[in-house]
Amino acid sequence: MQVHFESHDLHGAQLRDLVLQRLTFAMRRVALHVPTARVQLTDINGPRGGIDKRCTLELRTEGAGTLVISATAARWREAFEHALARASRALTRAWQRSRSHPKNNKRLPLPSSD
């Protein structure tokens, strides 16, 4: 799995190694089905403070399309952990949904009215 990390904030950029470790660990079972992931950490209000740290995870998957998950919290790590938990639940639901529908869903021929 290839991971792209983006953060224009100094404090967010310091979490780069931790974010990459946690993401690869959490996605280790599905790494073949998620070829690329993008993590973006942004500070909504800038230096004013508040609950404004946003983590956006974009997972490009094979079979489930592209999943984009965002989470906002007071601290960078909280936002990332919340987004990661939501992303794993969303991936699980998407793959369960795709497995519940047969791939070879062939329609029966309509009876002829000869």
pLDDT in tens, 65-77: 888 999 999 888 9
Classify residue 29: in a domain, yes or no: yes
% of the chain with per-residue pLDDT over 90: 27
Q: Which of 40, 97, 32 is closest to 64 using CA atoms?
A: 97
Task: Say if residue 112's pLDDT is above 70.
Answer: no
Instruction: State the pLDDT at residue 101.
Output: 62
Q: What is the pLDDT of residues 96-110, one digit of tens each?
A: 777 776 554 444 444
What pLDDT, in 10s, does the model give residues 35-55? 889 999 988 877 676 678 899
Write down the mean pLDDT value for the chain: 81
Dist CA 54 CA 40 (whole Å): 8
User: Is residue 52 one of the residues assigned to a domain?
Assistant: yes
Cβ-contact 92, 71 below 8 angstroms: no
What is the count of structural domains for the chain? Answer: 1
Q: Is residue 110 part of a domain?
A: no
The closest of 28, 88, 29 to 57, measured between CA atoms, is 88
Average pLDDT over residues 84-95: 85
- Structural domain boundaries enclosing 10: 2-100
Q: In terms of Cα–Cα distance, which of 52, 51, 55 is closest to 38?
A: 55
Q: Are strands 53-60 and 36-43 parallel, antiparallel or unpaired?
A: antiparallel
* DSSP element (H, E) containing 59: strand 53-60
Residue 61 has pLDDT above 50, yes or no: yes
CATH assignment of the domain containing 70: 3.30.160.100
